């Protein structure tokens, strides 16, 4: 199993280039099924993107990298068929359901996989689909079929990110208006809606929890640039602050960063935003503990919490880490305890991180994408050597991570075995 070996305590200084957003690139790849030719720019070279491209090709489409981060997708020859087993390796495979139903009226796929951080039910997807005339057959695979006419008002049972993404892709086939309430408004939902607008779909309310839209798709080709990953921005900001580094993050998209910048300021991180660049400098005083509470966007969303919880081990006082969304996302906290952090697990959704405490290098496990990044930050803070196993999870979400960290002075090696 591949692993990272990290020597902590080195001073970090320099620039970290921010990649395109994983959680925007994945639905945009699925949405390419709604048109014939799609060009996506600033796509991160991560394993989840590779999996999604494999599935497009399995369905009869073609994908080609025009340069390091520009992906061209042609779906002219795509025909509906059951998705391949690769669909089980990531959550985002569920996002093929909406566009396949929109284009062909049918979809058959395995139940999605991805991070093991909770039950992650897809009921909210299916109940919303049913309101648009989709019949779901849940056996060893998920078989979906829809009647021709669709449109109407839908109140999402959960403000699900991929649920909203699936629904807007399906509703792009409806010529009758679809009204979606309690929709998710994450940056990646907004970027997908902008893609659909470019494809000819009429959508209003983007960025709010109420969307009004009507199809159909009228364009054959769409070009879109993936936005900088706000989850990378918060993780690298936490890394820079926790290691007292002097780091520049670029490019960033300020329109999606309110909650992150507010959290960093409340902790007294020495952070400045200038245009599309964030500067983090060593702190002028002690970091302050400040509640880390997951919310629905535009609040601080759950994926920001693991890296910021590592910073909390270096802040004065108790930080409540409260993630009400996932019931099994605390594995990284148990790994932090191994490294010397003072953490009180209160229940499956809440923990108290009491700082500041020194961290010590240990052998730890990366259980999912964001906890993997948390382990890397902890290892860079810690005194001594840390071995992180399970780094295939990290590769799912972060491109060339060890190169980017070496470039700011980190002592990190990847050992493939
Ligand atoms: C997406 O997953 C992301 N994945 C996840 O990121 C992210 O953690 C999650 O949204 C929340 O922001 C992708 O975009 C590919 P959900 P998704 O349906 O759509 C509960 C990462 O690290 N919930 O929004 O599967 C719900 O039951 C991954 O990039 C409520 O209880 O997540 C589920 O357990 C990990 N009530 C959890 O929250 C609500 O109103 C997330 O739900 C809404 C959600």
Out of 20, 158, 374, mutate this one to test ligand 1's pocket (max ligand atoms within 8 Å of CB): namely: 158
The residues facing 109 across adjacent strands are: 142
What is the Å distance from ligand 1's center to 156 Cα? 14
pLDDT in tens, 110-168: 888 777 777 777 888 899 999 999 999 988 889 999 987 789 999 999 999 999 999 99
Nearest atom, ligand 1, residue 121 CA: 27
pLDDT in tens, 374-393: 999 999 999 999 999 999 99
What is the Å distance from ligand 1's center to 286 Cα? 33
Q: What is the pLDDT of residue 352?
A: 98
| CB of residue 301 inside a 6 A radius of ligand 1 | yes
Catalytic annotation present for 115: yes
Burial class (CB in 10 A: 0-12, 13-18, 19+), 1: exposed
Tokens at 207, concatenated: 């960025």
| CB of residue 51 inside a 6 A radius of ligand 1 | no
Protein residue with its CA nearest to atom 27 in ligand 1: 120
| CB of residue 232 inside a 6 A radius of ligand 1 | no
| CB of residue 235 inside a 6 A radius of ligand 1 | no
Predicted confidence band at 85 (pLDDT cuts at 50, 70, 90)?
confident
**Contact (Cβ atoms closer than 8 angstroms) between residue 412 and residue 4:** yes
Q: What is the pLDDT of residue 104?
A: 96
Catalytic-labelled residue, pool 115, 229, 303, 323: 115
Tokens at 393, concatenated: 């999870």
Nearest to 31 by CA among 61, 64, 67: 61
Classify strands 221-225 and 202-204 as parallel, antiparallel or unpaired. Answer: unpaired
Q: How far is CA 20 from the centre of its chain?
A: 11
Give backbone dihedrals phi and psi of 263, rounded to 5 degrees, phi first: -60, -45
Does 363 score more than 80 pLDDT? yes
| % pLDDT > 70, the chain | 100
What is the Å distance from ligand 1's center to 118 Cα? 10
- 211 sits in the region (left: phi over 0; alpha: psi -120 to 50; else beta) called beta
Distance CA 379, CA 363 (A): 10
Range in 122-126, 216-220, 303-307, 384-388 with the lowest mean pLDDT: 122-126
Helix axes 47-58, 22-31, angle to 10 degrees: 10
What is the Å distance from ligand 1's center to 384 Cα? 35
Give mean pLDDT, residues 240-257. 98
| CB of residue 115 inside a 6 A radius of ligand 1 | yes
**Contact (Cβ atoms closer than 8 angstroms) between residue 367 and residue 396:** no
Q: How far is CA 181 from the centre of its chain?
A: 22
| CB of residue 164 inside a 6 A radius of ligand 1 | no
Q: What is the pLDDT of residue 406?
A: 98
Q: What is the pLDDT of residue 150?
A: 84
| CB of residue 163 inside a 6 A radius of ligand 1 | yes
> What average pLDDT does the structure give for the chain?
96
Q: pTM for this one?
A: 0.97
Range in 36-45, 110-119, 209-218, 366-375 with the lowest mean pLDDT: 110-119
Give mean pLDDT, residues 243-261. 98
pLDDT in tens, 42-82: 999 999 999 999 999 999 999 999 999 999 999 999 999 98
Distance CA 230, CA 207 (A): 15
Give backbone dihedrals phi and psi of 308, rounded to 5 degrees, phi first: -70, -25
């Amino acid at each position: 199993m591949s692993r990272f070996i990290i020597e902590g305590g080195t001073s970090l200084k320099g620039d970290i280039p921010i990649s395109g957003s994983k959680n925007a690139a994945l639905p945009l790849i699925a949405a390419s099924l709604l048109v014939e030719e799609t060009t996506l720019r600033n796509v991160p070279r991560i394993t989840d993107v590779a999996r999604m491209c494999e599935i497009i090709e399995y369905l009869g489409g073609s994908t080609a990298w025009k340069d390091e981060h520009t992906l061209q997708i042609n779906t002219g020859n795509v025909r509906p068929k059951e998705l391949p087993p690769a669909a089980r390796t990531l959550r985002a495979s569920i996002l093929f359901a909406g566009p396949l139903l929109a284009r062909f009226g049918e979809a058959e796929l395995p139940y999605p996989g991805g991070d093991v951080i909770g039950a992650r039910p897809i009921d909210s997807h299916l109940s919303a689909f049913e309101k648009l005339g989709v019949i779901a057959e849940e056996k060893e695979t998920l078989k979906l079929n829809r009647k021709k006419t669709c449109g109407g008002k839908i109140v999402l049972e959960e403000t699900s990110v991929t649920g909203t993404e699936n629904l807007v892709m399906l509703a792009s086939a409806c010529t009758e208006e679809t009204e979606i309430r309690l929709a998710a408004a994450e940056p990646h939902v907004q970027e997908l809606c902008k893609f659909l607008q470019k494809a000819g779909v009429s959508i209003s309310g983007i960025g709010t929890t109420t969307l009004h839209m009507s199809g159909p798709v009228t364009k054959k080709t769409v070009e879109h640039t993936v936005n900088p990953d706000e989850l990378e921005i918060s993780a690298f900001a936490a890394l820079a602050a926790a290691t007292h580094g002097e780091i520049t993050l670029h490019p960033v998209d300020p329109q999606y960063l309110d909650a992150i910048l507010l959290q960093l300021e409340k902790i007294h991180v020495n952070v400045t935003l200038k245009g599309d660049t964030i500067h983090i400098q060593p702190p002028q005083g002690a970091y302050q503990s400040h509640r880390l509470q997951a919310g629905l966007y535009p609040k601080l969303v759950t994926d920001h919490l693991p890296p910021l919880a590592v910073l909390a081990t270096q802040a004065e006082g108790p930080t409540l880490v409260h993630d009400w969304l996932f019931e099994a996302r605390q594995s990284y906290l148990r790994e932090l305890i191994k490294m010397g952090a003072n953490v009180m697990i209160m229940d499956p959704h809440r923990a108290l991180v009491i700082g500041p405490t020194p961290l010590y290098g240990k052998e730890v496990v990366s259980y999912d994408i964001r906890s993997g990044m948390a382990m890397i930050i902890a290892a860079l803070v810690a005194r001594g050597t840390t071995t992180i196993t399970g780094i295939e999870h990290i590769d799912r979400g972060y491109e060339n991570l060890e190169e980017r960290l070496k470039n700011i002075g980190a002592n990190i090696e990847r050992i493939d075995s």
